[in-house]
Structure 1
Amino acid sequence: MDVLVVVATEAEIGPFLELPPPQRQGLTTLITGVGMVATALALGERLATTRYDLLLNVGVAGSFDRTLSLGEVVWVVQDTFSELGVEDGGRFIDGQAAGLAPCMFYSGYSHSSVDSLRQCKGITVNTVHGNDPAIKAVVERLSPDIESMEGAAVFQAAQHFGVPVLQVRAISNYVERRNRANWQLAEAIGNLNYWLGDFARYLQ
């Protein structure tokens, strides 16, 4: 099985990359850069010439849901471009309803390695939320569990190229006014890479 591991930054999978090559057999890493545009460009270029059995998008994420623990690893089964659309006064019309483009994507792929993970709904943003009124508005509109800056772009690329996709994230922080002192980034990265190492063992 040939798996393309799609991640925004090398730091998010640093421990995995330090594993001996035999323990990473079958997994190729694509570091795209941060954001949906960089992700789409990198994936489009790669998938135009190379076929994979699975796209595996991994990384850290912020959580809207306080029942998710910092550091927890989750399985994202739905992701949405939350900013794609038009404003009509105080009303937001998403891109699909406005006739512009699809904005919500799903992953139908399952694997035994994610059976124990909580399933979550994600949104993909250009600007991470840190303003109370904006947070309240997006929660009321979409009820997301987590946010990232790349997830929906990976889902859309997978759909376009007809490749199964799986997204797994670790919670580094809660979505609130920016407060890095409360983040658990090292724990999130550690737990994500522990899961990724387990996933690699499933493929051996």
Structure 2
Amino acid sequence: MHRILVITAVEAERTAFERGLPEESRKACSVVAGGVGAAAAAAATAATLVRAQYDGAPYDVVVSAGIGGAFPHAAQLGDLLIAERIIAADLGADTPEGFLSVDELGFGTTAYPAVPLAPMKLEAVRGDLLTVNMVSGDLLTVNTVTGTAEQAARLRARHPGAVGEAMEGYGVAVAAAHFGLPVAEVRAVSNLIGPRDRGAWRIGEALATLTAAAAAIVEGLVQ
């Protein structure tokens, strides 16, 4: 049985994911709230992986999980986004000719392939049968969450395969890669990417989706 490390940003996400795990899945899965942003996520992931190796119980796969934003053309509130690639969308240089990524600058890579997860029916923790709409595509990692239509358009133009954004996935992927481990990212949609409107966010619904999806995600990875 594979051992899975799940990294969330905040405690509410960690609690929501863990709440959805049956007892048998918890034996194979550890859920850690690593902090907000790619740097905090990378540090928490690396520290946890080192500790596990020292204890003689290393992990086999790492998952970045939590809530995030979706591009309106790709998904709706409450959907579950599954990464095909994890991309650092704003890591690079601004130039008069436009943005240049780290890849284009010759300093590394901004994209990591993600472990594929197949769509499936997911059972909510209350026992109700819940069908979660799952959307696959590129997930962007940003240091500044998008808050304008103009920035949303720029990101879509640079990354036409993107379905959503969050702040930690790339950091988790970098740390996992240093340990030679595969990585996945899943995001429950709490808001649509564009003009910032806190009143339109649905954080509670997104956390409920994360809970509903947790068991199926882990079960798919341990097989």
TM-score, with normalisation over the residues of structure 1?
0.89
Distance 1:66 1:182, change over 3 A: farther
Q: Aligned residue for 1:76?
A: 83
Q: Aligned residue for 1:53?
A: 60
CA distance in 2, matches of 1:49, 1:173: 35
- Gaps of at least 5 residues in structure 2 are 53-57, 121-133
Paired residues of 1:85 and 1:100 also in contact (CA < 8 A): no
Distance 1:136 1:193, change over 3 A: same
Task: Give the superposition deviation at 1:16.
Answer: 4.0
CA distance in 1, matches of 2:217, 2:86: 22
Q: 1:18-37 to 2 correspondence within 5 Å?
A: 18=19, 22-23=23-24, 24-37=26-39
Task: Give the superposition deviation at 1:188.
Answer: 0.9
Letter in 2 for 1:33: G
Q: 1:84-99 to 2 correspondence within 5 Å?
A: 84-99=91-106
Letter in 1 for 2:170: A
Distance 1:201 1:140, change over 3 A: closer
Indicate which of 168, 174, 184 corresponds to 2:192.
174
Paired residues of 1:66 and 1:174 also in contact (CA < 8 A): no
CA distance in 2, matches of 1:122, 1:159: 17
RMSD of aligned residue pairs (Cα, Å): 2.1
Distance 1:159 1:19, change over 3 A: closer
Q: Secondary structure at the match of 1:39?
A: helix
1:60-97 alpha-carbon deviations (Å, 9 max, x no partner) = 11011334120011211112111111122141111111
CA distance in 2, matches of 1:194, 1:36: 25
Q: Aligned residue for 1:140?
A: 157
- Gaps of at least 5 residues in structure 1 are none
Check if 1:38 corresponds to 2:40. Answer: yes
Check if 1:10 corresponds to 2:11. Answer: yes
Q: Aligned residue for 2:206?
A: 188
Q: Aligned residue for 2:111?
A: 104
Q: How many residues align?
A: 201
Task: Give the superposition deviation at 1:48.
Answer: 2.5
Paired residues of 2:14 and 2:32 also in contact (CA < 8 A): no
